Amino acid sequence: MMKTVIATSASAAIMLAAACSGGEPGNDTGDTAPASSETDATDVSGTDQQTANADTTNGGDEDSSATPEALTSEDGYKLTPYASGLTFPWDMLFLPSGEMLVTERDGNIRVIRDGELLEAPVSGTPETLAEGQGGYFAMALDPDFASNRTLYLAYAKGSADENTTAVIKGILSDDASELTEVQEIFAGTPRETTYHYGGRLEFLPDGTLIITMGEGFRYMEEAQNPMNYHGTIARINTDGSIPEDNPFASGEEGAPAVWTYGNRNVQGLLWDGGREILWAHEHGPKGGDELNILEPGNNYGWPAITYGVNYDGTIITEQTEAEGMEQPVVKWVPSIAPSGMVLLDENSGDWSGWAGDIIVAAMNGPKGQKLVRVDLDETGTSATTEDMLADLAIPFRDITIGPDGKIYLATANMEGVIYTLEQASDESEEQGTTE
């Protein structure tokens, strides 16, 4: 039986006012707009600026325009600047050659080589809709990248009036300066909103690609309808074709690429090879962020069941459980606004003592601006959580492990910084450091 961990706080009064950002223009559902905690949102003008309301531009106490300095948290961790000068970094990815690629939400892939951010972004990448929560999202390397140099990118495609989450692939040049032979391999269901895109990518051991999508916020009821891609997670082959063993491959009871449905806005995704589990976390509304085990064909409940409420405090549903709908392994009430996450293993350097645990990056949720360690049992069905770096109040968009075994963290601020994380105290034995 799966045990669900509830990370709660009695101090509801500390919820950020930004978590209730007002009605979405043109939204005839009567719902309020998505929390700004779910976005590193926007530097554009107009109504999307007002409703997405970039709360991460003022996350933390540091001056984002100043040269970043090393920081030490009260719980004994040190952040050392690795790179700065980025604009809304979204995803980090290391190449086998050691360079780091970073997506910027406004439509660039940047290259960091030997700790230096190159001035020119990767050329040949697609135009994106950088409005609201739209822009460039996650990347993934082909399982055969060493021989084919194929890079995948999820991004917001279209206009403010009609857009969706799309995925392209292309060939990355040897010097990582150019993407060529770009072709679209997937596009979700069109919608008329610039919120809730999902946008994470992960390869399964069989070589198929998992793509997360949001429900566009105003289409939340459609998350219970697997015949479209709103609020779903998709699985495709690398050429864009549909795997024959997808749960709705025939198209008779669901859209052929749908892998799971009843999801809200999934922005964390990873494959756990030791447990053979596909993990995903998603933003809840006001409360109810979730960490889930994904299984093909399963319904994750949104919005029929939820542990959260609308941003104006009104009830979405009285139900938190229902037959045929999955329960999370961990849920957060109040929200933490989870974004990237990473699985630690025996190759995680000083963090190898936590092998099998997940660290979740948290943005500007009411209880966010920190990291959360999820200490999992052998089966992954029971967990405890531990906050990290909470006193620094920094919103983190992404987290990854480098080939050097170090943890790298990207902030969600407009003037983004990438840090390395290490233990600054003598707590090394507890936390897995070998000295």
Please confirm, yes or no, whether 230 is among the known catalytic residues. Answer: no
Question: End-to-end alpha-carbon separation of the chain, Å?
Answer: 39
Distance from C-alpha of 237 to C-alpha of 221, rounded to nearest angstrom: 28
Residue position matching structure tokens 């809840």: 284
The answer to which of 21-25, 92-96, 285-289 has the lowest mean pLDDT is 21-25
- The residue ranking higher by pLDDT, 258 or 37, is 258
Beta strands per DSSP E along 142-247 = 150-158, 163-172, 179-187, 201-203, 209-212, 232-236
The answer to which of 60-74, 132-146, 318-332, 357-371 has the lowest mean pLDDT is 60-74
Q: What is the pLDDT of residue 424?
A: 79
- The residue ranking higher by pLDDT, 28 or 219, is 219
Which H/E stretch holds residue 64?
A: none
Q: What is the pLDDT of residue 15?
A: 33
Q: What is the pLDDT of residue 2?
A: 57
70: burial class by Cβ within 10 Å (0-12, 13-18, 19+)?
Answer: exposed
Q: Using 50, 70 and 90 to split pLDDT, how confident is the model at 67?
A: confident
- The residue ranking higher by pLDDT, 430 or 230, is 230
What is the phi-psi region of residue 410: left when phi exceeds 0, alpha when psi lies from -120 to 50, beta otherwise?
beta
Q: What percent of the chain has pLDDT over 90?
A: 81
Q: What is the pLDDT of residue 63?
A: 46
The CA dihedral of 285, 286, 287, 293, to the nearest 10 degrees, is 10
Q: What is the pLDDT of residues 205-249, one digit of tens each?
A: 999 999 999 999 999 999 999 999 999 999 999 999 999 999 999
Distance from C-alpha of 354 to C-alpha of 350, rounded to nearest angstrom: 9
State the sign of the Cα–Cα–Cα–Cα dihedral 143, 380, 419, 370: positive
Q: What is the pLDDT of residues 257-311, one digit of tens each?
A: 999 999 999 999 999 999 999 999 999 999 999 999 999 999 999 999 999 999 9
Which H/E stretch holds residue 372?
A: strand 370-376
What is the phi-psi region of residue 353: left when phi exceeds 0, alpha when psi lies from -120 to 50, beta otherwise?
alpha
5-58+85-346 under CATH 2.120.10.30, yes or no? yes
Q: Using 50, 70 and 90 to split pLDDT, how confident is the model at 252?
A: very high
Q: What is the pLDDT of residue 12?
A: 36
- The residue ranking higher by pLDDT, 60 or 253, is 253
Spatial contact of 122 and 172, defined as CB atoms under 8 Å apart: yes
Spatial contact of 54 and 43, defined as CB atoms under 8 Å apart: yes
**Of residues 38, 23, 31, 14, the one with CA closest to residue 364:** 38
Q: Which of 196, 230, 281, 283 is catalytic?
A: 196
* pTM for the model: 0.88
Distance from C-alpha of 272 to C-alpha of 377, rounded to nearest angstrom: 13
Q: What is the pLDDT of residue 26?
A: 34
The arithmetic mean of pLDDT across residues 200-208, rounded, is 98
- Domain boundaries in the chain? 5-58+85-346
Q: What is the pLDDT of residue 11?
A: 36
Q: What is the pLDDT of residue 24?
A: 31
Spatial contact of 259 and 237, defined as CB atoms under 8 Å apart: no
Spatial contact of 401 and 421, defined as CB atoms under 8 Å apart: no
Q: What percent of the chain has pLDDT over 70?
A: 83
Distance from C-alpha of 298 to C-alpha of 409, rounded to nearest angstrom: 32
Q: What is the pLDDT of residue 191?
A: 97
**Of residues 186, 175, 106, the one with CA closest to residue 140:** 186
Q: What is the pLDDT of residue 33?
A: 59
**Of residues 43, 88, 84, the one with CA closest to residue 65:** 84
Residue position matching structure tokens 């930004």: 18
The arithmetic mean of pLDDT across residues 403-427, rounded, is 91
Q: What is the pLDDT of residues 119-129, one digit of tens each?
A: 999 999 999 99
- Calculate the average pLDDT of the chain: 88
The CA dihedral of 55, 411, 103, 272, to the nearest 10 degrees, is -110
Q: Using 50, 70 and 90 to split pLDDT, how confident is the model at 134?
A: very high
Length of the chain: 435
The arithmetic mean of pLDDT across residues 23-32, rounded, is 36
Q: What is the pLDDT of residues 138-191, one digit of tens each?
A: 999 999 999 999 999 999 999 999 999 999 999 999 999 999 999 999 999 999
Alpha helices in 125-266 (DSSP H): 145-148
Q: What is the pLDDT of residue 34?
A: 67
The arithmetic mean of pLDDT across residues 245-258, rounded, is 98
Distance from C-alpha of 411 to C-alpha of 388, rounded to nearest angstrom: 15
